[in-house]
Chain A
Amino acid sequence: MSSLVRPIKGQTGVILVTTLLLLILLTGVALTSLATLGVNLSQSQNLVSTKQAFQLAEAGVQYAEKYLNQHQTLWSTYASPTPQTLIPSTTLTGLGTFTVSVQDGGNSSLQVTSTGTASNNAQAVITGLVVLGPYVPEDAVTADQNLTISGNTTIAGTNGGVHANGNLTISSSPSINTNATAYFNYTATGTPNVNGVAAGNQTIAAIPLMQASMFSASYDFRLSWDGNVYNQAGIAQPLSGGSWNCWSFSSTAPTTKKKKKKASTVSPTTPPVWTLSCPSTINSTLYFQTDVSIPTSLGTTQTPWVTTLIAEGSIDLTAQSVVARAPNSADGALFKAGTQNFLFISNEDFHIGSLSGGILTGAVAAYGQVGIEGNPTMYGYVVAQDGSNLSGLVTANSLSGGLNLTWNGDLPIPTFLKTAQIKTWKAL
């Protein structure tokens, strides 16, 4: 026992001192690590906040682009020498807010400056130049109201999508290369094959106003409501057997009038119509002050009908086969900058009936509704503006046939048809 209580000899407390020193060192290291971790956490939080602020600012620029698109008529009032508020503080729940100011950007552009504010009051500022550029639709088919696809349509190309600013309803099995979207609801009861986004609740597609009279300076011949044909100089062209280059006039021909969408007190009076009555006509840009009916097949792949048809009424294509394309710059005098790449422009409806063959190349714009029942092959895009319900030819936008439409976003149209586009932007 005595050995147990015997004082340790020859020991000078080295282990104790070493242990204490080691403990102090470890505590120091731990404290430093904790401090570093705290800094890193704070830095991470700041990074997240900064990133969120940047995303908010970016959202503000995108929102401003859409907003400016919708208010092109106020463009000049936004071009002030000093910044003015364009979009007041707007909250994106869970992220933060953004505000956007606007001022003159020089050379007909507007400078938008978007400030995103995230949690921790982290801010990011992005400034960009927005210009009014030529209209190039993102999708092959755009409707300003509802659109129904009930046929086995194929929409191809880099811009091979469909969009409705109302509801998009698909009840068949179309093949859509990019997106199938709607501002309101997207409903698919069929089995569509959509490679991109298929959803409702998406952003609005901006559509510029396109009416026949906006293109009236660009025609070769005007097919008048009075049954005569005039050139740009107003000189009446000779008719042969009552027709001109296979176009016949009628002010009494019955036109199919379906039930109108809205109750109207207007008693329908059939508008005059020019009808293509034989399979050979002139290559040219034609302006019709009437409805247009094309029940006769014409054009071949080798010799397509080169034309732009502009109608103050509706365009009804019921032929079995039409091969037609819009004039291009290689066509010499046939080409018109004011209507370039347009194939059909209608103030009312555009309808393709039982077309079983044919190829149509060019842009199609209807101020009323669009109905495609047949199986045409088309290159370009189709826009239904839904601004007029006067004609009952088409009562609702629909693709009910086997349309095969390809759109690669590569047909420039007249520069007066513009939409707001972000030209450059940078973070400040």
Chain B
Amino acid sequence: MSIATPLTALLGIKHPVLLAPMDTLAGARLVRAVSDAGGFGILGGGYGDRTRLETETAKLKDFSGPFGIGFITWSMAKQPELLDVALAAKPRAIMLSFGDPAPFAPRIKQAGARLICQVQSEDMAKQALDAGADILIAQGTEAGGHGASRTTLDIVPAVIDLAAGRVPVVAAGGIADGRGLAAMMMLGASGVLMGTRFYASVEADGADEAKRRICAANSGDTVRGVIPDWSRNIFWPAPFTGRTLINDHVRRWTGREVELMQNVGGVSAEYFAARAAGNFDVAVIFAGEAVGLIHDVPPAAEIVERIVTEAEQLLLGRRNFVAAA
């Protein structure tokens, strides 16, 4: 079974399912697992830890499948040489999120890689198209981790209309099962990018306790804000904030963000100590609003298989749209 779209053709993949380049979670192991299953694994380049990037790309050296590498653009801009490290690994695509892609686009294209740009507004989509993006990812506020305020149902059709068929548009935010993939295909998207669903997979480089909490969380247990970022001394440019599970630490500082900023030294010392101890009552777990749809930690290949099978049955009308009671 497979769902062919302009995205699958462009990336040379079997299934229109992309792994979000989650910093420290989407390592080489998860990338390989997703790509081996017919999806497209994108390595988390994150804020730009050179050692980690070199270690993880080295693990992909003998990998013959397709894969990408993703960066947080504004952070990578501080150490642009990291892009060379990434390109040396011969990825099929580089994914840039959160910042102007234009300064990096020529090098990416020259190296023969596709440029994937994640956007949260029409203006950002225009900027990405002008920079020569080959694929746009329209990310809704439902997404776990960093993003902005517009919802998936709002931003996806808006970006699709703007792209007007020039490049494939991938939907991100709130998608964790085949219903989500089918719904996004109905909106005209060419595929989906998922983070939280793959966080709760065997191969994700996350703590077992974090994965357990994702499985236990219900809809409404996430919130978008700045508390976890500020607590670890990371200050994102507007309009980006992070969606996380609501834990004791987030509850404690909600509505007291100014006070947190004033005491950021003490708070971050506490935060890092808690993180080192694996205390997720304090340490952040990035997760999206689809968290209530996630109840297990299977191998990534099984996730891809389930989603594609369910979506295909829905799209072909072979299965009633109503979930089995």
Please say whether chains A and B are actual partners in one complex.
no
Instruction: Please list the residues of chain A having a beta carbon within 8 angstroms of any beta carbon in chain B.
Output: none
